[in-house]
Amino acid sequence: MNIIIDKNLLLAPLSKLVNITERRSIMPILSNILLNFSKENVTIYSTDLEISAISRVDYPSSVETRAVVHGRKFMEILKEMDQGEINLDFAESTLTIKQKQSEFVLSLHDPEEFPEVKEISGAEEFSMLGSDFLEILEKVNFAVSSDETRYVLTGMYMAGSEGRVSVVGTDGFRMALCQKEVPGLNDFKGVIVPKRSIIEVGRVVSDDEVVRFLIGEKHIQFSTPSITVISRLIEGNFPDYQNVIPKTNSNIAKIEKSKFMKGLRKVSTIISKSEPIKVTYGDQAMEIETESEIGRAKEVVEVSYEGELLSMNFNIRFVMDVVGHIDGDWILVKAPSTYGAVLFVGDDEENYKNIVMPIRV
């Protein structure tokens, strides 16, 4: 069977789907994608059993056929082809790709061996602009745990309430919470989406696209006009993030963001990325101190401060991550008088909160 098609009609969706194929799986079939040519369109499927993706291309085929081919190699071949049409010749066990003087032959697998990829239905549903969704990912992703022994923390928690979607990431030592108003949002119970799934969705979403969310019992589905991604959900109980956010921290420092970050970068030059720093507030100044085998460093930053003389020790990477993700020119640091969670917020950014636990010394 022979099909002539513009290479970009296949290359564009393949570039989005191919990252989902499993490269190191004990199931070789998962390194492949399924191509389904029909008289209505071309549908491309990709899965690693945890995440699946579907893309439909508006191309009515002259013949109907299904083929399973190595996804990454097929994409790399298409990338190297000249612009314009290519010829796909499907035989029983091979696919021959031709264009001018170029010819490639790839092995095909039995389509019946490819895992079934099904879209979900009958679930909670809402939509969000792609730029809002990508902003949430950027502001929360860094705080999600990578420790597989605390599996429930390796995903982002997502819940809907009072017209807002709340997304939370934590590794037990820090937490990021980002909330967005979503018109017409119905309340839905919290679900935990694997970090890798969120990253893959972030790769295929554009700022100006609308992302449609469907939340089922065990899966969540993200759809844009060009691609649908289905991910399993992590089962388990996520920490009660609302009770973690301190509400009575009375020691409050207002710091210019650029000066805060510059001070952190200066003292970080003599320590590794995850070593501690000592932060002291008092008399309208903040001192950032650290030491290592190399030596000592101290930076004094002017602040507006209300509270008692206070010293805390932090993992410097955690603080730099938080400061780097807060928008605006000013940051409020709200600390308790005794050991406990420290709240970091933008001066005018109530929908984005970070907490960092100090280090006990």
Cross-strand bridge partners of residue 210: 129
- Distance in angstroms (rounded) separating the CA atoms of residues 44 and 71: 10
The pLDDT value recorded for residue 184 is: 86
Please name the CATH architecture into which domain 2-113 falls.
Roll (3.10)
- Residues forming CATH 3.10.150.10 domain(s) in the chain: 2-113, 124-243, 245-356
| 194-215 per-residue burial string, b: 16 or more CB within 10 A, e: under 16 | bbbbbebbbebbeeebebebbb
pLDDT in tens, the chain (361 residues): 789 999 999 999 999 999 888 766 678 899 999 999 999 999 999 998 999 999 999 999 888 999 999 999 999 999 999 999 999 999 989 999 999 999 999 999 999 999 999 999 877 889 999 999 999 999 999 999 998 889 999 999 999 998 999 999 999 999 999 999 998 898 999 999 999 898 899 988 999 999 999 999 899 999 999 899 999 999 999 999 999 999 999 999 999 999 999 999 999 999 887 789 999 998 889 999 999 888 999 999 999 999 999 999 999 999 999 999 999 899 999 999 888 999 999 988 889 999 999 998 7
Write the pLDDT tens digit of every residue in 241-261: 999 999 999 999 999 999 999
Q: Three-state DSSP class for 326?
A: coil
pLDDT of residue 361: 72
Residue whose C-alpha is closest to residue 79's, from 102, 63, 56, 59: 102
Dist. CA 91–CA 3, nearest whole Å? 12
41, two tokens: 């369109």
Q: In what order do the strands lie in the sheet with 342-346?
A: 188-194, 155-161, 164-170, 174-181, 349-356, 342-346, 330-335, 251-256, 296-306, 285-291, 276-282, 310-315
> Rounded to whole angstroms, how far apart are CA atoms 96 and 79?
16
CATH 3.40.50.300 fits 245-356, yes or no: no
Token look-up 């995850």 returns 274
Provide the terminal-to-terminal Cα distance of the chain, rounded to the nearest Å: 71
Contacts of 49 (CB under 8 A, 6+ apart): 22, 27, 30, 115
Which CATH architecture group holds 124-243? Answer: Roll (3.10)
Contact 215, 187 (CB under 8 A): no
Distance CA 74, CA 86 (A): 13
d(CA 117, CA 80): 29
Do residues 243 and 340 lie in contact, with contact meaning Cβ atoms separated by under 8 Å?
no
What confidence score (pLDDT) does residue 275 get?
86
Element (H, E) at 144: none
Q: Is 17 helix (H, G, I), strand (E, B) or coil?
A: helix
Strand partners, 127: 212
Q: What is the DSSP string of 219-230?
A: EEEEE-SS-EEE
